[in-house]
């Protein structure tokens, strides 16, 4: 990740010049991939296939821009995304590509966590399915953030509520926004460290060169022709003449 931007949007006039949200070109994963939870055999028993589950719900994406936003600001994110797309940029907006983590949670709970009465759920099972579901999404977000060049946070009264804005603080009630911003900060710090390392390598170029004595007194001093004669390698006269002609013309 190269850059991160804190984009404040306080009024609709701030985005009046942007295209309509419907103009955003999404690439949502097809729902039919998500209807059946993939399983596989492991140690003679059925287990959930985490790789296939991630690929069908939260397949990591590579893009020029990652737009972090509150769900209520989806239209604003799409409008900004549509504008960036019109400039030839690729844009990641999770709700436009991935399935809903809450829908996946419900499918897992209905399929694996119901009690015998089919009306209630086993608490321990629900906790386990919740951890699996959120770990899949967290991992996919991490991979996607690593793959995106730029990070945009839409700073609105939905993501940073009005009371916090007045207090000049940046608290958010969204754990996902909290996670995305923290990862973006970590990636920026890593980029900064890499840049410092690169600059330090460049600074090494000004270090004075060292002279080493190359002992050549036991070597036979020859030119290329003598070398080829000594090695009994015939010289292609025609080729030499052609090359000489070219050099003469030059």
Q: Does residue 240 lie within any of the structural domains?
A: no
Is the Cβ–Cβ distance between 103 and 129 less than 8 Å? no
Residue 209 has pLDDT above 70, yes or no: no
What is the pTM assigned to this prediction? Answer: 0.73
39-42 and 45-48: which strand pairing?
A: antiparallel
- Residue pLDDT, tens place only, 61-103: 999 999 999 999 999 999 999 999 999 999 999 989 998 999 9
- Residue 189: predicted pLDDT: 87
Q: Does residue 33 lie within any of the structural domains?
A: yes
Q: Which two tokens stand for residue 131?
A: 């951890």
Is the Cβ–Cβ distance between 92 and 63 less than 8 Å? yes
Helix (H) or strand (E) holding 48: strand 45-48
Q: Which residue has the tokens 């900004």?
A: 80
- Residue 150: predicted pLDDT: 93
Q: Does residue 207 lie within any of the structural domains?
A: no
Q: Does residue 233 lie within any of the structural domains?
A: no
Phi and psi of 5, rounded to 5°? -130, 135
Separation of first and last alpha carbons in the chain:
50
Domain that holds residue 133: 3-200
Q: Does residue 226 lie within any of the structural domains?
A: no
d(CA 232, CA 47): 71
d(CA 24, CA 114): 39
Phi and psi of 87, rounded to 5°? -100, 10
Q: Does residue 48 lie within any of the structural domains?
A: yes
- Residue pLDDT, tens place only, 186-197: 999 886 665 554
Q: H-type helices in the chain, by residue range?
A: 50-57, 74-86, 94-97, 101-108, 123-147, 162-166, 175-203, 224-230, 237-249
Number of folded domains in the chain?
1
């Amino acid at each position: 990740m190269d850059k991160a931007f804190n984009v404040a949007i306080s009024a609709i006039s701030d985005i009046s010049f942007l295209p309509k949200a419907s103009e955003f070109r999404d690439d949502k994963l097809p729902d039919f991939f998500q209807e059946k939870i993939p399983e596989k055999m492991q140690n003679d028993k059925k287990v959930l296939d985490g790789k296939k589950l991630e690929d069908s719900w939260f397949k990591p994406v590579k893009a020029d821009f990652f737009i972090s936003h509150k769900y209520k600001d989806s239209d604003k994110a799409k409008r900004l995304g549509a504008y960036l797309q019109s400039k030839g940029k690729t844009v990641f907006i999770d709700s436009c590509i991935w399935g809903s983590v809450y829908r996946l949670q419900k499918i897992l709970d209905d399929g694996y966590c119901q009690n015998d009465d089919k009306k209630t759920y086993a608490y321990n099972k629900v906790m386990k399915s919740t951890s699996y579901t959120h770990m899949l999404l967290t991992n996919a977000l991490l991979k996607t953030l690593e793959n995106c060049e730029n990070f945009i946070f839409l700073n609105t009264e939905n993501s940073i509520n009005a009371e916090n804005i007045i207090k000049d603080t940046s608290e958010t009630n969204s754990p996902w926004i909290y996670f995305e911003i923290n990862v973006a900060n970590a990636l920026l710090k890593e980029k900064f460290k890499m840049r410092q390392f690169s600059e330090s390598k460049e600074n090494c170029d000004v270090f004075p060169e060292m002279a080493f004595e190359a002992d050549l007194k036991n070597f036979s001093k020859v030119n290329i022709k003598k070398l080829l004669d000594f090695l009994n390698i015939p010289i292609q006269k025609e080729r030499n003449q052609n090359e000489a002609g070219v050099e003469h013309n030059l």
